[in-house]
Structure 1
């Protein structure tokens, strides 16, 4: 990969650009610009190209910034299991969660996944893993004779039917949450961890999550209050969010405490993903990837780093957007080019979808598969199997490896505490 841009002189732990600070605070750049105008935020440095940088020590009154300053990440990296904890994972995908949990110290004894290409990926990279391909509904978990310490997985969010229902375990039949809950019931792990989209919090006006909580209670577990974790806090150069649910079996729940993982001390950007440094020892290798049709490439070449369709001339906006030009909303994913100096937007299952464009920062093309994988913090040696489309889908659907590892260390810690009871 050609290194055509020099490293920013402000790329250190103490300074946050306005763009990165907006991500940390979950505010828009426009809001932060307004705060600067009102004197609420005072830039530490204004760069030659008029970019604003803030000293994070002066922003410690923001809890989100303070967690970067008071990071216990290095301390938590030393957490190791008191014995080999046995893990069963459902909806395993291409292994993002499984690799992260392996890094934390878990021993996977059973992984289930429906997608054929994802199973091929898992088997190729970890021949010793017990990868069971097929529909989860057909699996008898009682056939797993080993004692399971932890069950994990990301069940897809599906609507339940509420009419005339008691909203218990049996009433969730026909959904993939039911299958996850059935695995909890049959395996009786000490702890479980499920991950999902942020939208589960408000799905069906909150009724879906309430039903899930009732079923977890019915199964004999105490649910830690669910929390949305932002990947940028966990050594991942991506603005991805995942809802994490942790349950502890009732015979242990009042004797131990689950601690959420600490944030890493720095927000990483696309530059950290693509070039040798904190995350990788060498620059990202060339790899296969989608390509743009000629006219789209011509138009996308006029979008600046970090820009999108509104940075085009009105004539080109109308040509590219077509009917969407007249619709409301920001449509900020359309004709979007990423910036090296910001975390990536959340990856989707394809880098060239019109609504969620993920164009390379300075080359006019969609992100390649190794670039995609690095944004999800997969190791370079992790090889993906299947068609190009299948590989993008596997990577785009994955849990970022480094975030999974951080959560995994918190789970190891609570299992260590259970072990000492």
Structure 2
């Protein structure tokens, strides 16, 4: 049977890619960011990609665009920065991004797909409204109002063979009762008795993900280049399938001082561990900054799974062996994007806060690093997709 997918709050298309890899057709996407739309369209050329703020789109516009080709499945990752800072005692009730799930539900009410899947940060299960209601309870109630069975679970990417410690919340709404709304684990990060008894595969490590990529220093690399060595393992063979070259493997233009700082760092060290004379300086000043951030520029262990690839991961991690941050392609490998998937737009942009202050909002787009970090890991999306599509078919 034919299964079609519409992705809203689509970003660069990682969620959609997983469903495509599971055999579904990606018919459309709605995304506000221009560069993310360019990436989505380039990699999903058959899809109808709409660059728009969904809150400004009327019901009639949505029905005109997608009503005749009603998708079986709607995916959505409403921006979640407001939820990210929520906990049991506090939540940013005024953050407008916290209500964008209403738009996800609106599209479902209009198009009536068999399946709706929302992805978000784990803290959404703790987030509360100003009057104390749990946001997740509201989401479930609203989906049930429009005729869906609803299940939710926090999934860890390492359980599905992605070399990254990344936990995300998935809400699955369906018009039929799913016996198993979520896929069974396929991988483990440790060779424990449970691992052996369950016949789980060993989850790849960071080095398993990137060791075959060309070894480049700071300021080196290209947006398009050749492979320099053959694949070293099955994970690399999987992600290299269908591509005869590499894209987006360009190192950042670090200063000599930053490279020297990285050179002092051992695995697990961060900016907080560097010698005093290499401490970060204040912006536009020769004075040392009094602030140190332990989560910034941490050198990753090669034989472990990577920490969560966030939107600003270019400043989070240092390569295990090279004295530089990760490239976009290395981040994409850790996220499980295949090598043929090309990210458009600039590799990096200046601070969005700075652009806002200087009135340069026309330059405020999601750079390649942002697009990679915001994405649902495609292999995790593929596991979710295969589990659901197999049940729909049966």
Aligned length: 312
What's 2:139 paired with? 212
Contact 1:351 1:359 in 2 (8 A): no
1:247 pairs, out of 173, 176, 180, with 173
How far apart, CA to CA, are the structure 1 residues paired with 2:179 and 2:249? 46
Q: Distance between the aligned counterparts of 1:371 and 1:158, measured in 2? A: 24
Tell me whether 297-306 or 172-181 shows the greater mean CA deviation. 172-181
TM-score by length of 1: 0.68
SS at match of 2:302: coil
Structure 1 residue 236: Cα displacement: 0.8
Q: In the TM superposition, what are the counterparts of 1:213-228 in structure 2 within 5 Å?
A: 213-224=140-151, 226-228=152-154
Residue 5 (structure 2) aligned to one of 84, 87, 95: 87
Report if the CA contact (8 A) 1:158-1:175 is conserved: no
Within a 5 Å distance, the mapping from 1:117-136 to structure 2 comes to: 117-136=35-54
> Which secondary structure does the structure 1 equivalent of 2:5 belong to?
strand
Answering whether residue 328 of structure 2 is matched by residue 383 of structure 1, we say: no
Name 2:222's counterpart in structure 1.
Answer: none
Q: 1:158 to 1:307 in 2, by over 3 A?
A: closer
1:366 aligns with 2:325: yes
CA distance in 2, matches of 1:322, 1:146: 56
Q: Determine the C-alpha separation between the residues in 2 that align with 1:308 and 1:120.
A: 34
Aligned with 1:157 (options 80, 94, 98): 80
Displacement of 1:341:
0.6
Q: Equivalent of 2:234, from 273, 278, 291?
A: 278
**Alpha-carbon distance, 1:345 to partner:** 1.2
Structure 1 residues 11-410: aligned runs within 5 Å = 83-137=1-55, 138=57, 140-143=61-64, 144-157=67-80, 175-204=99-128, 207-224=134-151, 226-249=152-175, 252-253=176-177, 256-264=179-187, 265-274=201-210, 275=212, 276=231, 277-281=233-237, 287-309=249-271, 311-313=273-275, 322-325=289-292, 332-353=294-315, 357-389=316-348, 390-410=367-387
Q: Per-residue deviation at 1:314?
A: 6.3
How far does the alpha carbon of each residue in 1:325-376 deviate from its partner, in whole angstroms, 9 at most, with x for none? 5xxxxx54134111211111111223343xxx21111111111111111111
Aligned partners of 1:87 and 1:406: how far apart in 2? 15
Q: Is the 8 A contact 2:10 2:29 kept in 1?
A: yes
RMSD (Å), alpha carbons: 2.7
Secondary structure in 2 matching 1:280: helix
Q: Secondary structure at the match of 1:323?
A: coil
Q: Which of structures 1 and 2 has the bigger CA Rg?
A: 1
Q: Point out the more displaced range, 115-124 or 331-340.
A: 331-340
Query: CA deviation digits over 1:258-312, x for unaligned, max 9?
Result: 3433323112111111132122236977822323222222122111123324544
Output one character per residue of 1:87-112: Cα deviation in whole Å (capped at 9) or x when no partner: 11111111111111101111112211
Query: Once superposed, which parts of structure 1, at least 4 consecutive aligned residues long, lie more than 4 Å away?
Result: 282-286, 313-321
Query: Aligned pair in 2 of structure 1 residues 158, 362: CA closer, same or farther (>3 Å)?
Result: closer
The 8 Å contact of residues 247 and 340 in structure 2, kept in 1 or not, is answered as: no
**CA distance in structure 2 between the aligned counterparts of 1:174 and 1:313, rounded to whole angstroms:** 41
* Unaligned stretches of 5+ residues in structure 2: 84-95, 188-200, 213-230, 283-287, 349-366
For structure 1, the 5+ residue unaligned runs are 1-82, 161-171, 326-330
Structure 2 contact 247–342 (Cα < 8 Å) conserved: no
Q: CA deviation at 1:158?
A: 7.4
